[in-house]
Amino acid sequence: MRMGMGRARMFGKVAAFEFRYQTRQPVFWVGVIIFFLLSFASVAAPEFVQFGSTANVHKNAASVIASGNLNLALIYMFITAAFVANIIVRDEDTGFDGILRSTPLTKFDYLYGRFTGAFAAAALSFLAVPAGMALGAVMWWVDPESVGPFVLNHYLFAYFVLALPSLLLTSAVFFAATTVTRSMMWTYVGVIAFMVASFISSTLLRQPGLEKVAALWEPFGGGAYGLAIRYWTAAERNTQIPPLAGYLLANRLIWIGIALAIITAAYWLFDLRKGDGATRVKREKPGQAETPRPTGVTHGAPRFDAASRWAQLWARARLDARQVFGSPAYLVLVGLAAALSVFNLWRVADDSLYGGAIYPVTRAMIQALNGIFPFISLIIASFYAGELVWREQDRKTHELIDVTPIPDWAFVVPKTLAISLVLLSTFLAGVAVSVIIQLIKGYTHLELVNYIVWWVLPQAADCILMAVLAVFIQVLSPHKFVGWGLMVLYIIALIVASSWGLEHNLYLYDGSPMVPISDFNGQSRFWIGAWWFRLYWTAFAVVLLVLCHVLWRRGTESRLRPRLAALPRRLMGGPGVIAGVALVAFIGVGAFIYINTNVWNAYRTTLSNERWAADYEKALLPFETTPQPKIVAVKLDVDIRPGAPRIDTKGVYEIENRTDKPLREIHVRFDRDLKVLALSIEGARPKRTFERFNYRIFAFDTPMQPGERRSMSFSTARVAMGFRNSGADTLMVDNGTFINDGQLAPSLGMDRNGLLTDRSKRRKYGLKPELRPAKLGDVASRQFNGLRRDSDWVTSDITVTTDADQTPMAPGYKVSDTTWHESANMSGPVNKAGDRRTARFVTEAPILHFFSIQSARYALRTELYKGVRLSVYYHPAHAWNVERMISSMKRSLDYDQANFSPYQFRQLRYLEFPAYGNFAQSFANTIPWSENLGFVSKYEDPTKIDMVTYVGAHEIAHQWWAHQLIGADQQGGAALAETLAQYSALMVMKKIYGEPMIRKFLKYELDRYLRARGGEVIEELPLRQVEDQPYIYYNKGSLVMYRLASEIGEDNVNAALRDMLAAYAFKGPPYPTTLELVAALRRHAPADKQALITDLFEKITLYDLKTTAATVKKRPDGRFDVTLTVTAKKLYAEGRGQEKEAPMSEPMDIGLFTLEPGKKGFGADKVVAFERRTITSGTQTLGFVTSVAPKAAGVDPYNMVIDRNGDDNITKVEMR
């Protein structure tokens, strides 16, 4: 017992010694300060750092505290590595290991005592995170409406359940890796491995069906926590923590167990009695080495000319390259990069919207590589810089090497080159994986040149720049750990810079604008700006390399101050000349960039855009209620110059006073980026101009009388000059211009598009707390439709001119199409001579004032179907799904005309546009459709959702729900367009593929609706009152309408919709609302479904259904008695998420199956029984008699109701 107490005392002394040592190191206090400030700012200054708070989720909400601890624990790996990774290596580096081996210290006390002390220091340092968040919440400047009460339990849960196990895991891995290998490099590999695992896990967590596996095996617990709260509302996120059970408990136990196993393995693999040399280098036996004999060779005098310096350079380069590429750690890093590439690239090809697959076109593969490599590359560069710059110091050979006649640049350049080659090799590994996956998927159009030009060359340039920065920071740092800390600060600064309004690439090192790519244009002109920025930063990197050269440590002097003092002297001669030339280039290129980004283009940041929107509202929102005339006829002449790029527009509006009073002034509003060349209004003169907002007020010489019409003429230009700092102007491109009339022509009056809606931002800028649409039923707002307040239905006459090899398109029927030659003297200063094409499009009946203008080099597939000309204009390389699109047109037209009303046009057109957007949009008889959303979709698995047919059916449905019936500009208006289009698309899909496919689709919709509720920034509203809330009018709308059709019958729903069209199609004010829709549905629903309509449209209704037990017993007659125990709860939610239980007594589906629905192989033959039974609140027992013994049974097995935990609806049937 005395021996045990002595051992415990020795263990305690070792742990205490290590703890004191670590807490006295600069890295401890640097970690405390950095992470305290980050966590403090996340609450006290969330515009800089934010961990999940929204307008409705408090800055100190339970979920925000948890998110902060989870995210910072991931970044904290860099600090953890400094604490625990070098415990053993430190003793060998200092020679203390020999002394330790001569003492009676046990391996247990030494190893675990050291680890315990270092881990305790890391855990203590991380307490800065909860402390910072708690202190930030009580600062006097924090908006009191954005914080909740202090709840200690929330901080304890986040620290002990989420953060501390992660710290233990990373500490164990880094400690074991270094202890066993005696090399810090394996710690760096471990950090990269954790980063890769985090990327993969975060991706899996967004995939329905895979999130539970990811939640178990995501090492930091964020997946399991996210799974537990994924459907929580803002109110729950503010006040609750999930129970430590289920996947969260399993995840924590699994990874704590793995951490302990790793620590145990380190104990058994470590030999205290062996030093570093004994473990890695076989010692020579006595007598083996021979004394060198004189050779008699006469050596020449040493040379110090240019040739010798180049020889030294390449010798050093070979040495550094051998160290890097000969290391097993390097191979592991490349393997990790390849693994990350495999996962993400395979997912790109196999998991598009709604689980479908796409053809792995090179563009999509490169975009995926761009999304995963930059951050990992930054980490790799940081670690290798520390290792290479400090290698000689770590091995105690620096004094010997530093006295050799090798110039300092022969140290700097090879190390930079070695790091660059490491990064480049990881990029090439990504390309190799991408090509292999393309071939495996049967895609052979590899476009290797595009891989080089679009990916390898830009990444190579960026990785060299990053290598230079990493080396420079290590040269300045007193220790490599400090250098890594500075790189961590740099990474954090990059992440939060935009929150500070620091977004200009002129001062963000290695910053350059993103280069959008598409199969239409490749990189188009957008690569030019990116490479100018790379040239700019390359000049700066040369300056940094010169500074590395003149500040390089040599000999025993490692302090920075003496090196800085010698800087002027060392810059004399060649280094100064090189730095001077580079600095001149840096300034000159920077000036040219500034002209492009700040003079020729507007430089805007996130914060400046917010301020602009706030000022815009303050100045102009009071004009919202000023009566305005309405546009009744539109004539546009649009001249597109794809190569310029430039669009000149001349137009004439016919306007009419449709109010009951004379109008004394007219307000004209233009797009913010549009140049107004001319504007004249019949009988009016300019009164006031708001230049900053491109808003003009004209006063009528004589008031415009009710019913009077006048004309308005204008001329505008949209020009893209040079390049932008960010946000490339993709509206005008070489091939595939897609722009709408609102970006070329004016609107009348003020509206609320683009104004701030987030409550906290509105308070920040002194705006009234909320900016909401008019209330449902408001009489005044029914005078305006939800699309444009300045128009009802208009006639249009649009002429589009473009290059002769492109197809001009606009809504309306084409009445002329000519090709002509433009001479140089006709073209003007911005255009070149060449062949041009002009087409004119005219409507035969009024349409909505909502036009698209397009120009591209198209292939065409066209067909006449039942009097309607069906056309698909597509990029010639994207013919895969054209026939499917034609088929979806036919099926959609057939269903919608048979069930709603006749189609109003003689043509229907799909037009592909470049992948700069990821949507389709329905204009009158014309539907632009992104290449990224269906044109490259791949359909080989019949169990996958046919996204092409769904998207097409939805957009075609808008020819009824918007282009025939348009809702009023008030709450619920979006439901009349989007929810009814969703319903129509679901019915078309059901006719083609049957109910099983719709059930699969609705599972996605349910998941997206429930997830989005927690991110609501204002308040969730019932479907009838929906505002700008896509998760309600799209996702919930699908669920509501499909359940309604199942309950009252599809024919009854369609009859109600026909009533709506009969009453409001093509009519002006007063426009319809969802009040009329709900009333029509009630008229066609039986009495016992009226409460259901109330629940679906007028309330936020949720269910909690669960099958707690299911048993089967064989009867004497050979049949089976099946008993189910079901619990049920019905809830009504308020806008912020508070829920109240309501009495329930409703018929629900009950199913008995031989295979659980959703499993592979499930079909109608697996259904034993399917009945509707009345389910009430509480627990009930249901009985069935079947001829086949079921294996699974449950309530609402197809998830027809909105249940936040539909996974427990079905359970296995136990045999009794």
* Shared-domain flag, residues 1162 and 1066: no
Tell me if 1177 is assigned to some domain: yes
Residue-wise pLDDT for 1150-1167, tens only, equals: 999 999 988 888 888 899
* Higher pLDDT pick, 118 / 307: 118
Residue 22 sits in the same domain as residue 135: yes
Whether the predicted pLDDT of 254 surpasses 80: yes
In terms of domains, do 1175 and 1201 share one? yes
Residue 818 lies in a domain: no
Under 8 Å CB-to-CB from 34, ≥6 apart: which residues? 485, 488, 489, 492
Domain containing 979 — which CATH number? 1.10.390.10
Give yes or no for residue 1116 having a pLDDT over 50.
yes
Average pLDDT over residues 166-170: 93
Q: Are residues 1109 and 1094 in the same domain?
A: no
Written as one letter, the residue type at 692 is: R
pLDDT mean across residues, the chain:
88
Pair 208, 1004: CB distance under 8 Å = yes
User: Does the pLDDT at position 1130 exceed 70?
Assistant: yes
DSSP 287-334: T-SPPPPP--PPPPPP--SHHHHHHHHHHHHHHHHHHHHTSHHHHHHH
Which of 526, 555, 572 is the last residue in one of the domains? 572
Give the model's pLDDT for residue 661.
95
CA 26 to chain centre: 36
Kind and range of the H or E element at 121?
helix 107-126
1120-1133/1100-1114 β-pairing: antiparallel
The last residue of one of the domains, among 572, 596, 615, is: 572
Same domain assignment for residues 1144 and 1210: yes
* Range from 98-107, 531-540, 861-870, 939-948 carrying the lowest mean pLDDT: 98-107
Residue 284: the pLDDT is 39
pLDDT at 28 over 70: yes
Residue 524 lies inside a defined structural domain of this protein: no
Q: What is the C-alpha to C-alpha distance for residues 1065 and 963, in angstroms, rounded to an integer? A: 8
Q: Helix, strand or coil for residue 452?
A: helix
pLDDT value at position 33? 87
| pLDDT (mean) for 380-388 | 79
- Which position has the higher pLDDT, 199 or 130? 130
Question: Do 1051 and 1158 fall within a single domain?
Answer: no
Report how far residue 891's alpha carbon sits from residue 887's, in angstroms, rounded to the nearest whole number.
6
Confidence of residue 304 (pLDDT cuts 50, 70, 90): low
* Most confident by average pLDDT, 496-505, 782-791, 995-1004: 782-791
pLDDT of residue 4: 52
Same domain, 493 and 555: yes
Is 35 part of a structural domain of the chain? yes
Q: 1090-1108, pLDDT tens digit by residue?
A: 999 999 999 999 999 999 9
Q: Is residue 45 within a helix (H) or strand (E), and if so which, with residue range?
A: none
Residue 579 lies in a domain: no
pLDDT value, residue 343: 77
Q: How far apart are CA 905 and CA 924, in angstroms?
A: 8
Which of these three, 253, 276, 299, is where a domain ends? 276
Closest CA to 453 of 505, 508, 377, 530: 530
Residue 1002 CB contacts under 8 Å (≥ 6 apart), including other chains: 1038, 1039, 1042, 1199, 1200
Is pLDDT of 495 > 80? Answer: no
* Same domain assignment for residues 1082 and 1130: no
Residue 652's Cβ-side half-sphere holds a number of Cα atoms within 13 Å equal to: 8
Give the three-state DSSP class for 991: helix
How high is the pLDDT of residue 1045?
97
Q: Which residue has the higher pLDDT, 596 or 429?
A: 596
Co-location of 327 and 214 in the same domain: no
pLDDT at 248: 94
Closest CA to 545 of 352, 702, 731, 411: 411
State residue 1058's pLDDT score: 98
Q: Are residues 8 and 147 in the same domain?
A: yes
Task: Report CA 735 to chain centroid distance, whole Å.
Answer: 27
pLDDT in tens, 468-489: 998 899 888 887 778 877 887 8
What pLDDT score was predicted for residue 285? 40
pLDDT digits (tens, 9 = 90+) for 1052-1094: 999 999 999 999 999 999 999 999 999 999 999 999 999 999 9
> What would the pLDDT profile of 259-289 be if each residue is shown by its tens digit?
999 999 988 887 655 554 434 433 334 344 4
Bigger pLDDT: 701 vs 495: 701
pLDDT tens digits for range 65-122:
999 999 899 888 878 887 877 776 666 655 555 565 556 677 788 788 888 999 999 9
Contact 1083, 1059 (CB under 8 A): yes
State how far the Cα of 968 lies from the Cα of 983, in Å rounded to an integer.
20
Q: Please, which residues have CB within 8 angstroms of residue 1166's CB and are 6 or more apart in sequence?
A: 1153, 1154, 1155, 1157
According to DSSP, the residues that pair with 641 across neighbouring strands are: 646
Q: For residue 727, tell me if it sits in a domain.
A: no
Report yes or no: 1126 and 1152 within 8 Å, Cβ to Cβ: no
Determine the average pLDDT of the residues in 796-814: 97
pLDDT of residue 415: 82
- Identify whether 782 is part of a domain: no
Q: pTM of this prediction?
A: 0.89
State whether 272 and 343 are in the same domain: no
- 14: pLDDT strictly greater than 50: yes
CB 225 within 8 A of CB 70: yes
Is residue 611, in this structure, part of any structural domain at all?
A: no
- Average pLDDT score over residue span 426-437: 88
Domain encompassing residue 1107: 1100-1215
1087 DSSP assignment: G
Q: What is the mean pLDDT of residues 620-635?
A: 97
The number of distinct structural domains making up the chain is 4
| pLDDT above 90: residue 162 | yes
Identify the residue whose tokens are 């290797």. 448
Q: Which residues contact 851 (CB under 8 A, 6 or more apart)?
A: 634, 636, 740, 741, 796, 798, 810, 811, 923, 924
What gap in Å lies between CA 438 and CA 760, rounded to an integer? Answer: 46
Residue 560 confidence (pLDDT)? 81
Instruction: For residues 447 and 349, state if they share a domain.
Output: yes
**Separation CA 619–CA 616 (nearest Å):** 5
Percent of the chain with pLDDT over 90: 59
- Lookup: tokens for 242: 């999930």
Q: Residue 856: pLDDT above 70?
A: yes
